[in-house]
Structure 1
Amino acid sequence: MTQQPPPPGPGFGPPPPQYAPAPPPYAPAHPPYAQPPYAQAPPQQAPPQQAAARPDFLAVDKRNAVVVDASGVAFETSGLTVEFRWPEIRSVHYRASPDGKALMVAVVHMDGRFYECVVEARPRTRLQEWFPQLAWVLGHYRPMG
């Protein structure tokens, strides 16, 4: 099945608040060595060309995660991480779980070994957001030729 990747967007942005680490309760709002907020320069953003040149994909739930980026594919399952570099990957496959509640991603290693990671999509509509993003990122790093 051949699909055209969607046009590059502004990026995926920061992780949702529930996945971002909470600041320590003892941290002051402004460290004593920092300048007041009005004196700080705004953070520099990468030009859109650089952001589009190195896309990545992240799907995460309470126990599992799938990351696809310039280095390859990484699965995290219950705290264990397995990384697959692009030169050792024969193919990457993905689909919805039979009940439609999760993303199933499989990596086939060059020697034929098969690895799979399942990430629950909550809310369920997130699964429909992940499919075009994942297709575009995989198409960027592994174009079908």
Structure 2
Amino acid sequence: MKAEPVTGAGFDPAFIPGIAVPSPALGKEEPEDAEPEDPAVAAEDAGQAEEAGTSGEAEASEEAETSEEEAGEGPAFEASDRRARIVADRKGVRLRLDEESCEFRWDEIAAVETESPRFGKRYTVTVHTPDRRWYPIEIEATAKSRFKEWDEQLDAVLDAYFEDGD
């Protein structure tokens, strides 16, 4: 029996539409009379972009701190490993794999599904949207006993914030 390959946001962050910025080279052609860019100007622009990236990281860490403070008002769930992270709180569900991330507000979610493997230590959380898309992410647990704890924490968050359309 041949197993089908698994696809989704948990395995390929580019799977999420709109998460990656389209390349500016696609669909645009430079005019033939365009002058090549001066290397000194390109190096200066790269330096400015690098400085902006450093300040962007500081802003991101400040945002994370404020979101943690705001999340303290109700139940919250957070699980992470060396590559992946999932956070569910009053704002919604946020998934992150390596450097890619996505965020779902509670009104954008149709269902949240969890799966604990029979063997192994990979806990899977799948976010389903109303337009029939799903975004799975796997978190590696330090021990299988964490699965029950994570299920209870996530259930508390879902009970508090997720409103089923039934």
- TM-score, length-normalised on structure 1? 0.59
Identity %: 34
**Do structure 1's residue 111 and structure 2's residue 161 form an aligned pair?**
no
| Unaligned 5+ runs, structure 1 | 1-45
2:142 alignment partner AA: R
Partner of 2:89: 69
Structure whose residues are more often strand by fraction: 1
- TM-score, length-normalised on structure 2? 0.52
Do the aligned partners of residues 88 and 143 (structure 1) sit closer, same or farther apart at CA in structure 2, a change above 3 Å counting? closer
Deviation at 1:99, TM superposition (A): 2.0
Deviation at 1:143, TM superposition (A): 4.8
CA contact (8 A) 1:58 1:68 kept: yes
2:111 aligned to 65, 82, 91, which one?
Answer: 91
1:56-99 Cα offsets, whole Å, 9 max, x none, are: 10011111011101111111111211111111111111121342
Partner of 2:141: 121
How far, CA to CA, are the matches of 2:106 and 2:156 in structure 1? 16
- Equivalenced residue count is 96
Q: Runs in 1 of length 4+ with deviation above 4 angstroms?
A: none
| Unaligned 5+ runs, structure 2 | 1-68
How far, CA to CA, are the matches of 1:105 and 1:62 in structure 2? 16
Deviation at 1:123, TM superposition (A): 2.3
Aligned-residue CA RMSD (Å): 2.1
**Do structure 1's residue 56 and structure 2's residue 76 form an aligned pair?**
yes
Partner of 1:82: 102
From the CA coordinates, give the structure whose radius of gyration is larger.
Answer: 2
Structure whose residues are more often helix by fraction: 2
Decide which moves more: 90-99 or 57-66: 90-99
How far, CA to CA, are the matches of 1:72 and 1:132 in structure 2? 17
Residue 103 of structure 2: SS of its match in structure 1? strand
Deviation at 1:112, TM superposition (A): 0.8
